Amino acid sequence: MAKAVRYHKQGGPEVMQYEEVAVGEPGQGQVRIKHTAIGVNFVDTYQRSGLYPMQMPAVAGNEGAGVVEAVGAGVTDLKAGDRIAYTGLPGSYCEQRVVPADRMVKLPQGISEEQAASMMLKGLTVHYLIFSTFKVNKGDTVLWHAAAGGVGLIACQWLRALGVSTIGTAGSPEKMALAKAHGAEHVINYSTDNFVEKVKAITGGKGVPVVYDSVGKTTWEGSLDCLRPRGLIVSFGNASGPVAPVNLGILASKGSLYVTRPTLATHIASRAELVERSNALFEIVKSGKVKIETTAKYKLADAAQAHRDLESRKTTGSVILVP
Ligand SMILES: NC(=O)c1ccc[n+]([C@@H]2O[C@H](COP(=O)([O-])OP(=O)(O)OC[C@H]3O[C@@H](n4cnc5c(N)ncnc54)[C@H](OP(=O)(O)O)[C@@H]3O)[C@@H](O)[C@H]2O)c1
């Protein structure tokens, strides 16, 4: 048995309960792991709230890091004691669990488990967004919403390392300063200022070729107005609520725009892609060009408070739980 944060119905943070769950032994192709750090991500709140469908009861969370405790039959590339991390496996808010071995990534020296839990989901997301969804080039200027958040701070640093100029939005002067310190060349307070006008001014009226929009409902339409003709809006999250149903004609009237709604799961579906993107993330972090700072740590038992803080825009950067 192990402690886990579980919910039996979807709803507010209060539905999460600290309970004992069965762990079991690893079967064919599986390993049992002990978490030492667990990532907190906005998607955890969508699953808990009911925005995304889930089977009940559900252990919260999607990402973790720790140590292999036992390996099942057929597992050859992991052994007890290996340090590992993963993302994309719902049910991570727990002390121990059994997981598929081929979804684990071994942590190299120089990457701590806390760093891994702070960056696997967020950093792999940044990787596919800037190398696959829209391949950024040196000299590009891009718009990134919620630039002081967990995904945002990694994006600002990685884009700076590539010679890309980031216009970052954030909801307070403190968050603007944080985004700037992490590499955003221009910052806009979208709670007080009209971000469309600011983006137009920064780009000499041209607009940007790509907008990375994880805020959703409140920024969608303005984001379209920040694009140059034939630009791409990457709608990859719903922090303010999902985008309302769209008449595709709006893409025509605003200049033959493109839209995509990608997920990390599709971009790490194969083991080869998971490993390739993870290696790229480890390399950029080890180079020091992207620093992973865990900005808030909560006890596993306090996961509900972590969700409250994330959803009320109190947090910046990466948040983790410690069992
Ligand atoms: N599709 C994918 O593959 C994928 C993968 C990872 C993450 N995501 C998405 O990326 C986004 C960032 O994830 P994260 O875990 O790093 O979270 P986060 O950015 O640390 O937190 C979300 C941020 O969104 C901003 N926000 C704007 N309006 C908000 C509102 N009404 N309520 C709450 N927050 C609001 C807040 O920043 P300000 O106060 O500065 O506005 C808040 O800090 C989320 O939307 C997440 O779902 C998508």
Of the CATH numbers 3.60.10.10, 3.90.550.10, 3.90.1150.10, 3.40.50.720, which one belongs to the domain with range 138-261?
3.40.50.720
Whether the CB-CB separation of 240 and 218 falls below 8 Å is answered with: yes
The CA 239 to ligand 1 mean position distance, Å, reads 5
Ligand 1 pocket residues where CB is under 6 Å: 41-43, 121-122, 125, 146, 148-152, 170-171, 175, 214-215, 218, 236-240, 262-264, 310-311, 313, 315
Question: Letter for the amino acid at 219?
Answer: T
Q: How confident is the model at residue 93, as a pLDDT?
A: 98
The count of other CB atoms within 10 Å of the CB of residue 179 is 29
CA distances from 181 to 92, 153, 174, 175 (A): 31, 9, 11, 10
Pick from 38, 2, 32: nearest CA to 99 = 32
* Pairing mode, strands 105-106 and 141-144: unpaired
Percent of the chain whose predicted confidence (pLDDT) is above 70 = 100
Determine the Cα–Cα distance for residues 93 and 99; give it in Å rounded to an integer: 13
Atom of ligand 1 lying closest to residue 148 CA: 40
For the segment 100-113, what is each residue's pLDDT rounded down to a tens digit? 999 999 999 999 99
What is the C-alpha to C-alpha distance for residues 190 and 210, in angstroms, rounded to an integer? 18
| Domain assignments of the chain as residue spans, ordered by start | 2-120+292-322, 138-261
Cis omega (within 30 of 0) for bond into 57: yes
Question: What confidence tens digit (pLDDT) does each residue in 2-52 have?
Answer: 999 999 999 999 999 999 999 999 999 999 999 999 999 999 999 999 999
The pLDDT score that the predictor gives to residue 293 is: 87
Q: Which CATH class is domain 2-120+292-322?
A: alpha beta
| C-alpha closest to that of 11 among 41, 40, 54 | 54
